[in-house]
Amino acid sequence: MGVNQSKNSPMGILFLVVLIDMLGFTIVIPFLTYFIQDLASAEGIVDIGRRDLWVGIVISCYSLAQFIFTPILGSLSDNYGRRPIIIFGLISNSIFFIVFGLSQSLSMALLARFLAGAGNGNIAVARAYIGDISEPSEISRRMGMIGAAFGLGFMIGPFIGGLLSDPATSIGGIFDTSFWLKYPYLLPCIFSSILSLISLFMAIIWLPESLSNESRDIQLESPLKEIRNIFDNLISVLKFPQISTLILANFLFMFGFSMMHGTFILFTAMEIENGGLGFSEMQNGWIFAFIGVIGVIIQGGLIGKLTDRYSMKNLMLFGTLLCGLGITSLPYVPSSASWFVFLSSAALATGNALFSPTQSSLLTFATNDSGYELGAVMGAQEGYSALARIIGPLLAAYIWSETVEGIGLWTYHTCFRVAGLIFIVALILQIKIKNNSQMNGDI
């Protein structure tokens, strides 16, 4: 079980750590599209399709780094403890938020996001930490708290990103200077960096190590051998039927969900005469705030009661269905009744809020039953999730760039339809998962 001296106090720190991670991921949502379009235009890329494709590339590079390095960080946390890896991720966040805000070229923006993703394996390690300090009856509720941090990040991050973007014109006063005109997206990045430093300070002082020395397997190996072992682990976890099904189901869910990241704002910000909703950055920020509120309510308060009443498998299935319907319906929202976008957003938010904690809990139970290292499994899952977040935005951005001015079946609706098909496959795969007493809440 690891270190049990303080079972409750670490959860607050873990909540804050995951919240900071999600703020870093979501605070760029309202301005990233405009930021990358400005950088691309400055480098002579003015074609609409090529310009929008770069948005997907920058979003994906963060996840590419996570895919490569998160399993490594998860394995290192099994060997050397969860605490130092969490602290390392917070230091990385503090530095590379600022670097991204100061970017003056596409290459600098790509490098900053890649390095931020490389150091950010905190979510997987936080979930492993929960597994270390929790009894089976506590896991679903505590995973729900981590999910609530996701929702809160989606609620706060985009709103802050939109509010603090381009302060020279939107705020004025002391920000009406040539410096802020040159770096219009630096202020929200500074805000994120400050939050990360506060979280770092709290983790150093108050976060205890959860993994006892007896539970660690210290092996000093060359970096190349360690990397090879990690990628072998990505394959080896798939040898366990229940674990592999859960990980692949999560991969498909994240694949479909991440397709929305690169195209949601491209659709809502598109001119009304072209089929979009004509929303501003702040309006998009309010939509994501609404999504976050739903996530906080469900994962922060309702998930425990729901898992007491319904099986985790059924909640996971229902969440997948709802999320798929919400994302697929987004581009069909009419500009004459744009408030319908909140219905689609409510469906995808509710679905994600139900899926994430139940899937994580089921994976924890399956891992404990198999005797496999929990940190390695959670690291592998986050690695596959990062792979989904690499492919999803890239595929969506490519489809968008090829169909945004199309007609007939091949229009800007296409990428959302493809996401819907992926959710159907994920749903079919989840039906194969076997029930047991822990899934049904009989713990």
How high is the pLDDT of residue 224? 53
Whether 213 is covered by a domain: the verdict is no
pLDDT, one tens digit per residue, over 33-72 is: 888 888 988 998 878 778 888 888 998 888 888 777 777 7
Whether 219 is covered by a domain: the verdict is no
Mean pLDDT of the chain: 82
* pLDDT tier for residue 229 given thresholds of 50, 70 and 90: low
Percent of the chain with pLDDT over 90: 21
* Count of the separate structural domains present in the chain: 1
How high is the pLDDT of residue 425? 93
The phi-psi region of residue 286 (left if phi > 0; otherwise alpha if psi is between -120 and 50; otherwise beta) is alpha
pLDDT, one tens digit per residue, over 71-85 is: 778 777 877 888 888
pLDDT at 184 over 50: yes
How high is the pLDDT of residue 110? 93
How high is the pLDDT of residue 118? 82
Whether 218 is covered by a domain: the verdict is no
Whether 286 is covered by a domain: the verdict is yes
What pTM, to 2 d.p., does this model score? 0.76
How high is the pLDDT of residue 4? 42
Whether 240 is covered by a domain: the verdict is yes
Contact indicator for 442, 343 with CB cutoff of 8 Å: no
How high is the pLDDT of residue 112? 93
How high is the pLDDT of residue 437? 47
Mean pLDDT to the nearest integer, 105-121: 87
How high is the pLDDT of residue 262? 73
pLDDT at 320 over 90: yes
Whether 337 is covered by a domain: the verdict is yes
CATH number of the CATH domain containing 55: 1.20.1250.20
How high is the pLDDT of residue 230? 61
Q: Whole-angstrom Cα distance, residue 83 to residue 90? A: 11
pLDDT at 251 over 70: yes
- Residue 258's contacts (CB-CB under 8 Å, 6 or more residues apart) are 63, 388, 389, 391, 392, 393, 396
pLDDT at 372 over 90: no
* pLDDT tier for residue 433 given thresholds of 50, 70 and 90: confident
* pLDDT tier for residue 257 given thresholds of 50, 70 and 90: very high
| DSSP per-residue string spanning 210-267 | -S-GGG-------HHHHHHHHHHHHHHGGGSHHHHHHHHHHHHHHHHHHHHHHHHHHH
Whether 215 is covered by a domain: the verdict is no
Mean pLDDT to the nearest integer, 149-157: 76
Nearest residue to 363 (alpha-carbon basis) of 43, 103, 146? 146
Two structure tokens written together for 67: 């895919």
The least confident of 11-25, 48-62, 266-280 is: 11-25
How high is the pLDDT of residue 185? 92
410: phi then psi, degrees, rounded to nearest 5: -100, 85
How high is the pLDDT of residue 175? 92
Domain of 315, in residue numbers: 9-205+227-431
pLDDT, one tens digit per residue, over 335-347 is: 888 889 999 999 9
Whether 441 is covered by a domain: the verdict is no
pLDDT at 440 over 70: no
Residue matched to tokens 């605490």: 83
* pLDDT tier for residue 104 given thresholds of 50, 70 and 90: very high
